[in-house]
Amino acid sequence: MRHRLAVAVLGTTSILGLPAVAGAATGEPGWQIGGAAVFGKYDIDNSSFDDDALGFKAFAQYRFNALVGIEAAWLNTGDFKSDITPGESGGNAKVSADGLSLNLVGYLPWSAEAVDLFARVGYYSFDQDASLDGQDSLQPKAEGLTAGLGAQLAVTDSLSVRIEGDWYSLDDARLWTVNLGLAYHFGTR
C-alpha cells in the first residue's frame, strides 16, 4: 500500500511539475529597471545601537534567460538613529549608508505566469556616515557579501510590483532590508 501511495504521489508531482518547467522557459531575456522604498534595520554588535529607517533603492537588471540574470543597484538606507547611552546625557548616534551592489539573480521555475520568484547573491560597496552627538566620526567604507529573496508580480506586460528582502554582511553590524517597489520591463514579458 505504501509503495502504491509513493508511486501515485511521485507520478502526480511529476505531471504537475511539467507545466512549471515549461513555464520557466517563457521567461523573456531583456532589461528591467526599477525603484523601491527600503525599510531597513541596522544594529551594531555589542552595542545598544538598533534602529529602523526608510531609504530608497534603484536598480537595473539584465535577464539572460528564464533562470539567470545580473543586477546592479544603488541603495540609500536613510538615517538610523539611536541613543547608545540610555539614561545619560549625550550618546545620540546616527548612521547612514549608500552605495552600489552587483548581484547574480536566479529565478525559480514557476508555473504561475504573472509571478517571478528569485534569489540573489552578490557583492556590495557602501560609504557609511556616522556621527555621535552631532559630531562627525568615522566614515568607514563597508564592503562584503549580500543575499536576498524576492518576488515580482506582473501588473501589465511591462510593469511589475516587486517585494524583496536583503541582507548585508557588515563588519560588527547587520543590515536587513525589506523593499517594495516597481520594475519596468523593456519589451514584453
Residue pLDDT, tens place only, 78-97: 888 887 776 777 778 888 88
Global pTM value: 0.76
32 touches 63 (CB < 8 A): yes
- At residue 6, the pLDDT reads 39
Length of the chain: 189
- At residue 119, the pLDDT reads 97
Distance CA 17, CA 31 (A): 28
Pick out the chain residues at pLDDT < 50.
1-26, 189
Assigned CATH for 2-185: 2.40.160.20
The amino acid present at 165, given as its one-letter code, is G
How does pLDDT run across 23-49, given as a tens digit for each residue? 323 468 899 999 999 999 988 777 777
Burial string for 70-90 (b: 16+ CB within 10 Å, else e) reads: ebebebbbbbbbbeeeeeeee
Distance CA 154, CA 126 (A): 31
